[in-house]
Structure 1
Amino acid sequence: MLHAMVGNTGTNWKLRHVSWRRVLSQQDWGSLISTITVLIVFAITDAALGGPRARPFQVTDSTISYPYGYSLVPYWSVIVASIAALLLTIVAAELWLRRSQHTDLTNALAATLHFLIDGLSAFGVTGMVTQITKMAVGRLRPDFLDRCKPVVPSPLIVSYGLPASANPACTEPESVELTDGHYSFPSGHTSTAFAFSVWTVGYAVWAFSLRAPRLSAAAVRQMSVGQRLAREAMTAAGFLWIVSLLVYAWFVGVSRITDFKHHASDVVGGALLGTLFGLAFVVRSIARLGSVVDVPIDLHPGTGSPQSESELLGHNGGGRDTGRVHASSMVPV
């Protein structure tokens, strides 16, 4: 199907002309409903489990005898920092770097909301799967004995193959901290950090590098020295941003080991879980963008069209179209 793509004129990009009804009505509600359905099923499963699985332990187990202390990276800070990075990346791409690919501000905001909802959906599903897995496994944290302070049998006898009912009693009263001591696998901090980071990195790679239109090598050679330096600086900044997101997720995972909150395998499991859901959701959101806004196809990948190269080089009114109508092949991705 052929659509006429109107250039982003100043009027179309005034906030007062935004149709918020269109922003909402254009959303991919089918995908959102499916995500909500999955979350409801997981919430019911979480409630049905009721608590962590009881696991047998020995007071002589050195792997769970580390000191109980504070967390270097609180969970709330992981969520706040991750959402901020996700939102900043989406806004930078949809409302600035790829502004020329939207017909007006309404469509740009619709795309922004589409990606934001999907990123938050990845977080929600990852969090629920992490919590259910924690309860089903019931693995003890490295600092569990310090939380529990169990009664030491006298005389001390090491026995094997005993059920959880034979565990020595904890001298510490029942509390949130004691229950949390059974939630070691997988690491929730790590799964959250990786879900957000991998989703954001996947989106950034697509939005900054793979999304049409792109400049051809010939167009790059035609740039002035100043334009070339600015372009390379932006490329380097984008790469550093991507690396920083991955390093942050790695730092969060490592901190859970050094804080004695998780075993190394817990962090690996959380990283794998977050990576899988982050990738799954970002691929879905990119593939479904065509159901939210019109998406142009790059008919000559790697070469760029004269129109797009002219815009990206700063011609034709500073990179924005002056309101002319172009016939473009527009189909959903």
Structure 2
Amino acid sequence: MARFTLASSKSIKESIRNELTFQRSRRDAAPSIDSRPRFLEWLRIVWPDILTMIVIGAIALGFDKMWPPYHRLFPYIDASGTLLAPELAYPKIRPSLSAAASGILSVGTPIVIFVLSQFFIRHFWSLNNAVLGLLYANIGGSCFQVMIKTLVGGFRPNFLSLCQPDFSRPGANQGVQGVYHDWSICTGESKEIKNAIISFPSGHTEAAFASFVYLSIWLNANLKVMGSYQPRYWKMVAVFAPLMAAILIAGDLQMSYNHHWYDILMGAVIGISFALVAYRTQFAAILDSSKNDLVLFRKSTVDKATAGGKVKTRGSTDSGDLV
């Protein structure tokens, strides 16, 4: 029994020693922050991505300025005076965070953390890829959700309060018993009317989950919460903190009657999907702790760099891509 215990102890020590040696070799092979490329060299590598993001952002902005191309009908009251859509009759309450504040918080918080982490990581391409992935997730997700908002949309829970319908206008009293009405009979402010008919999906929620899920994945990768050794509890808390922020932003939208639960759910699904894919485009894995903090490069960039012997790798895949 003692012999078995001694052998097990040696095996555990050897395993830990091998893991520490592996981690140290990866760290030593990584280029320092001082080996960052000149600005024009960096721009030569990333300009196609910057151009694509500008184009996608412009498309999103264009759809955001559009009015929905259809005219949805909404119910009001029946012949007995019963309100047919109480789920659309909530009062107008502004959310705690405006769209601008929510966007700045969602995107700005991860970027600040990425930048501050360089005091410890000191790796230019790690910062570069972290920020690029975050922008991929946010710009792509925003374009995706704003197109759905414009082409599908839906009435907000506070629609009737914002609409202020005038039933003497053309477009009122349609359908059986004339209980359906076109939103063109609304007399409220034009900006508020437009906002009231594009409830689905939630843009605030999409941005929050795209950013904060991405940040949680990045924190897990760098703090090694789900790694091959036991982490400190504060690291687990740090990974879940961004998720709490995203949920609180989404919850505030429902409590202030700005979105239905299904608007929020779809916004979260879109945001999480873009966060996962965007992270994987920049780093070698999502959950695999042995490489989920290793940066990826374009294959063309790797071929040129390795041919000239100018780049030190942090690791490699079977395909030969620098990671």
- TM-score bin, normalised by smaller chain: 0.5 to 0.7
C-alpha distance in 1 between matches for 2:238 and 2:249: 17
- 1:63 alignment partner, one of 87, 111, 132: 87
Q: Identify the residue that residue 233 of structure 2 maps to in structure 1.
A: 236
Corresponding residue for residue 54 of structure 1? 71
Instruction: Verify the 8 A CA contact 2:163 2:193 in the aligned structure 1.
Output: yes
Three-state SS of the structure 1 residue aligned to 2:258 is coil
C-alpha contact 1:55 1:164 (8 A) present in aligned 2: no
**Preserved CA contact (<8 Å) 1:82 1:193:** yes
Q: Which amino acid aligns with 2:99?
A: Y
**1:171 maps to which of 187, 206, 209:** 187
Shift in Å at residue 71 of structure 1? 1.3
Q: How many residues align?
A: 265
**Contact 2:174 / 2:181 at 8 angstroms: preserved in 1?**
no
Match of 2:242 among 222, 240, 245: 245
CA–CA separation in structure 2 for the residues paired with 1:129 and 1:74: 20
Greater CA drift, 258-267 or 28-37: 28-37
C-alpha distance in structure 1 between counterparts of 2:174 and 2:181, whole Å: 16
The one of the two structures with greater contact order (alpha-carbon pairs below 8 A, sep at least 6) is: 1
Task: Give the equivalent residue in structure 2 for 1:327.
Answer: none
- Cα deviation, 1:225-244, whole Å, max 9, x if unaligned, reads xxxxxxx5xx4333222211
1:74-85 correspondence runs (5 A): 74-85=98-109
Check conservation: 1:23, 1:109, Cα contact below 8 A: no
Q: Which residue of 1 aligns with 2:147?
A: 132
Matched, 1:86 2:110: yes
Per the alignment, do residues 41 and 188 of structure 1 end up closer, same or farther by CA in structure 2, a change over 3 Å counting? closer
1:146 maps to 161
Contact conserved, 1:52 with 1:138, CA < 8 A, in 2?
no
Following TM superposition, by how much is the alpha carbon of 1:273 offset from its aligned partner in structure 2, in angstroms? 0.7
Per the alignment, in what secondary structure is the counterpart of residue 53 of structure 1?
coil
Shift of the 179–331 alpha-carbon distance from structure 1 to 2, 3 Å rule, reads: closer
Q: Describe the SS at the equivalent of 1:290.
A: coil
Q: What is the CA RMSD across the aligned residues, in angstroms?
A: 3.8
The separation in 2 between residues aligned to 1:132 and 1:8, in whole angstroms, is 41
- 2:119 maps to what in 1? 96
User: Does the C-alpha gap of structure 1 residues 19 and 132 become closer, same or farther in structure 2, counting only changes over 3 Å?
Assistant: closer
Unaligned segments of structure 2, at least 5 residues: 1-26, 78-84, 285-294, 302-310
2: CA distance, partners of 1:164 / 1:20 = 63
Measure the CA separation in 2 of the matches of 1:13 and 1:283: 22
The answer to whether the 8 A contact 2:30-2:312 is kept is no
For residues 36 and 314 of structure 2, the distance between their equivalents in structure 1, rounded to whole angstroms, comes to 21
Task: Tell me if the contact between 1:64 and 1:141 (Cα under 8 Å) persists in the aligned partners.
Answer: yes
Equivalent of 1:289, from 289, 296, 301? 296
| Aligned partner of residue 75 in structure 2, secondary structure | coil
Task: State the one-letter code of the partner of 2:241.
Answer: S
Change (3 A) 1:57 1:25: closer
Larger displacement relative to structure 2 (49-58 or 71-80): 49-58
2:322 to 323, 328, 332: 332
Unmatched segments (≥5 aa) in structure 1: 100-107, 221-231, 300-329
